[in-house]
Each structure stands twice: as C-alpha cells, then as structure tokens.
Structure 1
C-alpha cells in the first residue's frame, strides 16, 4: 500500500513538473534549440590535431623492416602500438579500442628488397573523424620514410613507395558532420539532463512552491523521483527526435546502430545526470549561482569524457579521475551503439558502470535533498 502511494505521488508530482516546464518559455526554447539548431551547427565543427592516437599493429611479417615501422609509430602522435593478431583486428575496432590498426602482410620485407611495391592495409575508425584524416597521412609518411631508410643498407635495391590501403570503418567518406552531429546530441543530453532538474528544484524554491510540498504528505524521495523521471522523459524524447529527424533526415547521417538500445542507455544515463542536477540544485541558492556552478561541472564532463577528444590523448591522471564520471562511460556506450552498431554483448560493461555510478549520485543527491528540506522545515 505504501509503495502504491509512493508511485501515485511520484506520478502526480512529475505531471506537475511538465506543467511548470510548459510555462517556462526560456527553458523550452533552450530544449528546442539545443536539439535542433545547435546540433546542425555542431556538425560543422573544426577537427583537432593528432595527439596520442590509439594504434594497434598486426605484424604478420615479423621482420627487421616491420620492427622498424612499429618502433617509428610512437608518441606523441600515437600511443605505444599494441601488438595484436590478425583475427583480433575487427574485434578491437568494433569495441572502439583502436583508432588505427595496421596490417603488415607476410613477406613484406622480402617484397621491398625485391623492388616490388607491397601494399599494407590500414584500418581506420572513422568515428574519430579528425584523427582518421590526419593520422592516415602521418602513417603513410612514417612508413615510406622507414622503407627508404631501410633499403639504404642495400645499394642494389631501388626503393619503391609502399602502397598504403586505408579502410575507413563506420564513416567511409570521413564526413566530419557524421561524427560531430551525434557527439553534439551526446553532449546536449548531458547538459540538459543536469540543467533541467537543477533548475526545476531552484524554481520551486524561488517561487515558494517548495513550502507547499513540505506541508503535503510527500517524502524527499518522491520529490526527487518525480523530477528525475519527468525531466528524463523530456530529454529522452527531445534527443530521440533530434537523432531521427535532425541527424538522419536533415543532415543525412547514416546511423547504423540500434535507436532502441541507444534510448535505453540514454535513459539509464539520465538517471545519473538528473541526480547530479538535483545535487547541484541543493547546493545553489539561486539560478545565477546554479548557472555558474554548471559551467564548472559541464565543461569537464563534456571535454574530458572522450566525446570531443579521444581519452588516449589525455594525461593518465585525468583518465583515472574521469573514469568515475558517468559521462565517460555513456560516451563509450553511445558511440559504440550508434557508430559501430555494437550490441549489448559489447557495451554491457558501460551499461553496468553507468548504473553503478548513477546509483551513487542518486544516493548522494537524495541525502543532500533530505538535509536541505530538513533545514527548511526547521
């Protein structure tokens, strides 16, 4: 009976949040713009420079020349190459662990010394669009430099240019807008998930309606749950519309992944994002203070989560700290599902991490909300 009452109160309080949001024209404009005009504009983002790109090498030749090539692909442009087997190329690319995978075929050194022009295959994760374009040129130049330096020890051999055959996966034309548009949706989900719930709580305090709630037979948990589910529904509907209409139709982006699996991951992530928003709403005393606090929270979450810059390019300390942020795991989940058509068998670790971190933030936000309401009642 108590559970039924909790669900009923949570439902009615959530409906109240919808009515309150419909009366806030500024927030409605922000939601519409962030999932339409902003997405379209971000699809024209400027690419970044190559820095510590993730690369793996399948060395089938295992020769002196192939060892030289492996040794040349080093920081700062690339991380230290991971040596893998040929059968593991697709698995690593599908999981998003490698931006580049270079396949050095058998008898590569012998073909070079015989004066032939052997071909190497370079597999490129084109979801990291800017690195894919820049890195392919880097790798081509490095390989040709190493081949020329190697054959200098064999005067009878005339150096021939090595043919590098790139294979761009998940974005065959390296279209920048494909990556930027989906990334913008991911970032806007984070931003609005936090802003809407925090602003809803502060709006209650500024308008004096929080006092009305305190005299009603509702608990802090019901108040919090109502804001979480209502704002999560708003962001989920807006992001799904943006993906289907703005990204797929207006921008013509091919999204091979499951929209349903992405929506489930987004709903789980919004559980964490809205909890962060409520926690911040209990700390801020008014809307301007909440806005300033949001800048300090949103910028690290968006810039350091891997959505804009691959995490491999970041310092080790930053990567460790950001592993405790739900945004980091949600970005991996969303990119894996939408770009690489990854199924639940591939992205389930990200689902688990988002759920666990979300539960921690929900507990912290609930504790802080109870404390805040207790102070107001006193």
Structure 2
C-alpha cells in the first residue's frame, strides 16, 4: 500500500508539472486537434483536381468525347495543347497527365485495328500518378465502349465491388483516425522522456533521490500520469474533433480503444524514459527520440502495409509494440471489433511492454546512482 501511495502522489506531482508547462500542454492540445484536422483534410489518396491536358491530333468525335469525359472534382478542365508544348509543360509541373490521341485514331478504332493511346504521367507524385492512371484508364475504356456501343456485352462476368468500413473510400476517414493513433505514439515518447529531462534540468532529481521511493515507483508515476493525459486527449479527439467537428463515423468502441491505448502506453512511455536516460538535455533527447518515433510511426503498418515490406523488416517490426497497437486500433475503430477479437494484440503489447519496462528500470536506476 505504501508503494501505491507513493506512485499516486508522485503521479499527481507529474500532472502538476505538466499542466504548468505551457509548451508541452500546447503541443498536446494542437496534436490532437489542429494536427488531426489538417492531416485528415490535407492528405488525400484519391484523385481530386488533377491537372490533365490532351494532345488531339485526330480531331474526331471520339477524341472530343474522351476530352470531355475528364470532369470535376476528379480532374480540372482538360485544355488542348500541341505536342511540342508537352515537354516544357511537364517540366514546369503544369500537368500531371497528358493524353496523346494520335491522328487516325477513330478510323483505326472503327476498323478494329486496336490503336494505341499514349498517357504521359508525372510520376514525381507517386500516389497521384498511380491512382490517376487507374482513373484515366477506366474513363477511357468506358468512353470507348460507349462509342462502339459495346457496353458490357463483351465481358463474361460483371465485377461488383463493395467497400466495407469506408463505403465511399474517403481518405479523410482513414487519415483522421490514423493521425490520432500515431499521435499517441509520438506524445508517449515525448512526454515521458521530457518528464525525466525536466527533473534533471530543474534540479529536482536530487530531491527525489533522498526520498524513500524506488526507481520503479518513480517510473510508474511518470507512466500513469503522462498516460492519463494522452489517453484522455486521444479519446476527446475522437469524440470532439473526428466525430463532432469532421463528422467522421467511428463504429468501434472508444472505451475498448482507451483500454488498449492504456496498455500500449505502458510500453512506449517506458521506452521514452529509457531514451531520456541517455540524454543530458532536452535537445539531446529530441535528437534521440525523433528517429525512434518516426520509425515506429512509418513502419507500424498504418502508413505502409506490413505485407509490402521486405521479409526481414516485416519480421523485425513484429517486435515493435506500435505494430500490434496499430493492428488493434484499426480493428477496433474501423471494423468495430471487440475484446474477443483483439485480445492477442493486447497480450503481445503487454509482454513487449514488460521487457521495455525492465530495461528502462535498469537504465533509470543506473542514471540515478550516477547522479548521487
């Protein structure tokens, strides 16, 4: 009981120190409000307002039909340009796509010669290039089928796609929730590590060393205090910003997500404390923390699918708690999974967190002993 009392009282001190730090509190508030809104509305994977031009050397009915098929909001109005204008325009980045319709295209099409259309793509924007090419291919095929009055009669079967969990394929639905999930990782490392650095910079770590508390009690106090702030901010962000302001549905249980986030914070805040023991100042801690949470965020499976990674990296990332938490959060928040389906991820995160906590405790104890 004495140990629990110490952890509770030290945690209250951590909360008071955090609330008195305007920079960190401003970071928490912005990260779960403005950053979520900006990323959800600014980052898009679907084609929207893409710049396309047409080189029409055929000047036929079918070429006019193809040009008029590129409509907003997917494409901007497609101007006609000459072949010698294409190179400079692509170099300047004026157009992402240039469709070249050769002379005699309609005549060859009606004669059954299967003429070629050339689509020039600016692949510097890879997502737009890939998705836009698929859009344009589909549009061209539909228009040519309509022109030839072939419809779907040549197809042996009809494919009817049904998108689950995001019926209209809105990227904002994905990025808003993923930003909240990613922010949990980033702030867990930053706040817990900053708490240790703050003790050293303010000279209060010497006070803690003469108190009848252990290194584990100090660590657990920092973990529950910072974890409470982060989980509360994440839940409020989902309720107020994602669901309230942006109108994005979250079909899963936010309570189950909060439980999983609390378990996840147990491991990631321990990692932040361990990193802080290697740094003497806040800038040094920042240099250590940035590569860590960037790797955790980018390779957790939320931004890059795990299946697309090389096999050694794919296996290595299963040792990261962020990978299992991302899988857990996506299953709960996107697909409405309950504890019965995601308990394995929580168990794995708990095991990894125990290892991180043991390593952090060992390092933290050595740091306090060296400070004596």
State the TM-score, normalized to the length of structure 1. 0.70
Say if 2:13 is the partner of 1:16: yes
8 Å CA contact 2:45–2:171 kept in 1: the answer is no
SS at structure 1 position matched to 2:277: helix
Any gaps of 5 or more consecutive residues in structure 2? 47-126, 142-152
Matching of residues 128-143 of structure 1 within 5 Å: 134=131
Matching of residues 325-336 of structure 1 within 5 Å: 325-336=320-331
8 Å CA contact 1:35–1:188 kept in 2: the answer is yes
Tell me which of 311, 316, 330 is aligned to 1:321: 316
* Aligned CA-pair RMSD: 2.2
State the TM-score, normalized to the length of structure 2. 0.71
Deviation at 1:44, TM superposition (A): 2.4
SS at structure 2 position matched to 1:256: coil
Deviation at 1:160, TM superposition (A): 3.0
SS at structure 1 position matched to 2:300: coil
8 Å CA contact 2:43–2:172 kept in 1: the answer is no
Say if 2:291 is the partner of 1:273: no
Q: Structure 1, residues 203-256: CA drift from partner, whole Å, max 9, x if none?
A: 000110000011111111111110000000000110010010000011111111
Answer with 340-349 or 244-253: which moved more: 340-349
8 Å CA contact 1:259–1:338 kept in 2: the answer is yes
SS at structure 1 position matched to 2:160: strand
Q: Structure 1, residues 124-150: CA drift from partner, whole Å, max 9, x if none?
A: xxxxxx89x959959x97xx9xxxxxx
Deviation at 1:46, TM superposition (A): 3.4
Matching of residues 355-370 of structure 1 within 5 Å: 355-370=350-365
CA–CA distance in structure 2, aligned partners of residues 320 and 312 of structure 1: 10
CA–CA distance in structure 1, aligned partners of residues 259 and 347 of structure 2: 12
Matching of residues 1-378 of structure 1 within 5 Å: 4-47=1-44, 134=131, 159-160=154-155, 162-377=157-372
Deviation at 1:371, TM superposition (A): 0.9
8 Å CA contact 1:45–1:180 kept in 2: the answer is no
CA–CA distance in structure 1, aligned partners of residues 267 and 301 of structure 2: 18
Figure out how many residues of one structure are paired with residues of the other and give that number: 277
Deviation at 1:358, TM superposition (A): 0.7
Any gaps of 5 or more consecutive residues in structure 1? 50-129, 145-157
Displaced runs of 4+ in structure 1, greater than 6 A?
none
